[in-house]
Structure 1
């Protein structure tokens, strides 16, 4: 099995297994995450995914100068776990560091696709809760829903579900 990274195919056994190896990969052609010694790659985002991501980022950024709204940045959830959420909201962070520490993240957001929905609702939801990230948003474009989940002692508890009516308010 191969995975497209760094512009060429690499055998899976050649992929990073430690955080140090992962960080040495640098920029890759796919979203690459480290999960307990294994590498998970996700396909590039579609234009629809990007439109939803930008709309959410703009809405969450509105009138907030005290928070950093960042997309596609690696977040260290714990030893050997580095996720690349679609979007995060963080307090003070070093904007020149390649990773954001989970304790700086106040909200994490994933936009599901048919290929990622199971991972977003299980592996990532559990890992973000373990890392004590207070809020987890999950956008489901296929169903037109945005789920808001807040952290409790038992994990995330769904607080609200919003209907996503339109990606943009522009009538072009």
Structure 2
């Protein structure tokens, strides 16, 4: 099985590649990430996912002018590891560089789906902690929950669980 990319296709399974090759992919019709030398692809988001993403972004941005709230941008977590989180909050960054360094990221957020929940709760949670990103939010639309985790020396520790509808105003 392949997923269509602009001008070419990539298999759904991982393909060995370098970071330089990954960055040369440019914009694709699938979300592509680099994990330890392998490009992994997944389909684009659903309207429900985008509605939650936009509402979370607006809630996190409220009243703040000193932070950047950015969706769908690659983040370099380390050598050979570039993730595309659903949403990040950064301090000052160069808006013309095609990816953000993990050291600039203050918060990362993933919105789970049936296809991504295991990866979001395990692989990504561990990789974001290893990259020393201070805060990790996980939104679970299926359960209507938003989990907030803070980084400690041992990894992420859950700080709170909120009703997603109370944070976003969306009752999906």
The 2-side partners of 1:23 and 1:152 are apart by 31
In the TM superposition, residue 114 of structure 1 has moved relative to its aligned partner by 0.2
TM-score (norm. length: structure 2): 0.93
TM-score (norm. length: structure 1): 0.93
Q: 1:167 to 1:44 in 2, by over 3 A?
A: farther
Q: Deviations over 1:89-112 (max 9, x none)?
A: 000000010010000000000000
- Of 4-13 and 71-80, more deviation after overlay is shown by 4-13
Partner of 2:161: 161
Gaps of 5+ in 2: none
Gaps of 5+ in 1: none
Q: Check whether the contact 1:90–1:104 (CA below 8 A) recurs between aligned residues.
A: yes
Q: Check whether the contact 1:51–1:167 (CA below 8 A) recurs between aligned residues.
A: no
In the TM superposition, residue 163 of structure 1 has moved relative to its aligned partner by 1.1
Q: Check whether the contact 2:74–2:84 (CA below 8 A) recurs between aligned residues.
A: yes
The 1-side partners of 2:151 and 2:170 are apart by 34
Partner of 1:54: 54
Q: 1:13 to 1:62 in 2, by over 3 A?
A: closer
Q: 1:126 to 1:168 in 2, by over 3 A?
A: closer
Partner of 2:19: 19
- Matched residue SS, 1:165: helix
- Matched residue SS, 2:3: strand
1:1-172 residue pairs with structure 2 within 5 A? 1-6=1-6, 8-11=8-11, 15=15, 17-165=17-165, 169=169
Q: Deviations over 1:110-139 (max 9, x none)?
A: 000000000000000000000000000000
Aligned length: 171
